[in-house]
Amino acid sequence: MVSAVMPTYLRQPVAFVRGQGVWLYDALGHAYLDALSGIAVCGLGHAHPKITAALAEQAATLIHTSNLYQIPLQDELAARLCQISGMQQVFFCNSGAEANEAALKLARLHGHRRGITAPEVLVMEQSFHGRTMATLAATGNPKVQRGFAPLMPGFVRVPFGDTQAINQALEQHPQIVAILVEPIQGESGVRMPDQGVNDWLHQLRTLCDTHNLLLMLDEIQTGNGRTGRYFAYQHSAMLPDVVTTAKGLGNGFPIGAVLVQGKAVDLFSPGMHGSTFGGTPLACRVALATIEQICNGAMANAEEQGAYIQTSLRQRLRTFDVEITGLGLMIGVILPKDAPTLVDAARKAGLLFALSSGNRIRLLPPLIITKEEADLLIDRLTAVVSAFLNTPEAQ
């Protein structure tokens, strides 16, 4: 059957009919270990009883009223996010791209406040920030930009992790007012900065303080417990000015947020930004329930199981030219060559993950994965990777 859905996605030949914890099931009852979590979304796994209950209860009480009225659940969620993060104010939206759009508007406002009429934002090569026109221009991947020229102006790009390049860019572009960066690059294949996340973030913080720039961290993928802290910057003793989040915040229910502190507070005033669906009672209730579970065990488990999976994979794949990278349950397995058949082979063996840049396996399993399930993941991954690397085509 020809689908009437626009062909924007290259879909795998499988549909899931239900999920439970880390498992997804197809119509024939085959079980798949979901080591992708809907691309870092279902951190608490599928059909989590607390999330189901929050969703059902709130849906039966009040779904939506609009931001024309007070929404106490929004205030409650904003307060909780600020308490967790050290930030001061929150704007709610519905997706990662929308959160980054809001952040980019904040950067422009910060620039105009400084008297800069054509502000620019510094972004990284190989970054991913979304598919809307502004976030597409911010994204450092020519493939996703192809066909959409003219791209929105106002971005300057440097290599990820390169502070010297940032210094040069700042000299050449005095209109730069903000840096937008992922602490660990996700979509391009779990890329860590060479100097480590901690040093990288501290270097960025110092540069932003020196030059009066907003430090804007895109934690859409790294946030919500994924790396073993609520946000990845919490591995370091520093605060960004702006943090964007979405994905895991609603465990599959759409919600995004922009958190600000310091000089990014009160840049927006009434009428400057908005979203019909942003921060509905339903979305906020689900996010509050999700945060509670992340903070009560899931995040700590992500740190523990993440370290275990990384160590085990290093050991099990030691005879191959393979690099294991990442933090918490955001794990990359970098293969010595492109592996176009690997995702299919793994799915047939009951394991779901994604591949980036041709040779970078991305593992983003639910934060609630047990040690036994982690062992299964390790066994299945080791088997498919070994089989692939032992075939003549991979030599």
Catalytic residues: 128, 218, 247
CB of residue 132 to ligand PLP, shortest distance in Å: 8
Stretch near ligand PLP under the rule CB under 6 A, chosen from 27-35, 214-222, 286-294, 355-363: 214-222
259: helix, coil or strand? strand
Please work out, in degrees rounded to the nearest 5, the angle formed at the alpha carbon of residue 344 by the alpha carbons of 221 and 20.
55
- Is 232 a binding residue for ligand PLP by CB under 6 A? The answer is no
Cβ closest to ligand PLP, residue 170 vs residue 282 = 282
120 is a contact residue toward ligand PLP (CB under 6 A): no
- Amino acid code (one letter) for 317: L
Q: Is 190 left (phi over 0), alpha (psi -120 to 50) or beta?
A: left
101 counts as binding ligand PLP under rule CB under 6 A: no
**130 part of the interface to ligand PLP, by CB under 6 A:** yes
Q: Residue 130: CB partners within 8 Å, gap ≥ 6?
A: 95, 96, 97, 98, 100, 101, 136, 138, 139
Q: Site for ligand PLP (CB under 6 A): how many residues? A: 15
Closer CB to ligand PLP, 39 or 207, in the complex:
39
Indicate whether 310 belongs to the interface with ligand PLP (CB under 6 A).
no
Measured from the CB atom, is 353 or 388 closer to ligand PLP?
A: 353
User: Cα(36)–Cα(22) distance, rounded to whole angstroms?
Assistant: 9
Rounded to a whole number of angstroms, the distance between the first and last alpha carbons of the chain is: 39
Residues 6+ away with beta carbon under 8 Å from 99: 93, 220, 244, 245, 246, 256, 257, 258
Q: Which stretch binds ligand PLP (CB under 6 A): 11-19, 125-133, 232-240, 301-309?
A: 125-133
Return the number of the residue (354 or 383) whose C-beta is nearest ligand PLP: 354
The answer to whether 106 touches 242, Cβ cutoff 8 Å, is: yes
| Phi, psi angle pair for 132, to nearest 5° | -75, 170
Token pair for 368: 């609630």
Q: Which of residues 166-185 bind ligand PLP (CB under 6 A)?
A: 182
The binding track of 57-96 with respect to ligand PLP, each residue x by CB under 6 A or -, is --------------------------------------xx
Selection from 135, 152, 154 nearest residue 144 by Cα: 135
> Using CB under 6 A as the criterion, what x/- string covers residues 245-264 for binding ligand PLP?
-x------------------
Cis peptide bond N-terminal to 150, omega within 30 = yes
Residue number of the CB atom closest to ligand PLP:
96
Binds ligand PLP by CB under 6 A, chosen from 101, 120, 218, 303: 218
Token pair for residue 219? 């934690």
Among 119, 186, 189, 193, binds ligand PLP (CB under 6 A): 186
Q: Kindly state whether residue 227 participates in binding ligand PLP, applying the rule CB under 6 A.
A: no
List the one residue from 104, 106, 220, 339 that touches ligand PLP (CB under 6 A): 220
Min dist. Cβ of residue 213 to ligand PLP (A)? 20
What values do phi and psi take at 54, rounded to 5?
-60, -45
Token duo for residue 180: 């937008």
Nearest approach in angstroms of CB 193 to ligand PLP is 14
Q: Does 107 bind ligand PLP (CB under 6 A)?
A: no
| Cα separation, 188 vs 128, whole angstroms | 7
Full DSSP string of 184-201 = SB-TTT-BPPTT-HHHHH
185: β partners: 191
From residue 362 to residue 381, the character string flagging contacts with ligand PLP as x (rule: CB under 6 A) and all else as - is: --------------------
3-class secondary-structure state, position 222: coil
Residues that bind ligand PLP (CB under 6 A): 39, 95-97, 100, 128-130, 182, 186-187, 218, 220-221, 246
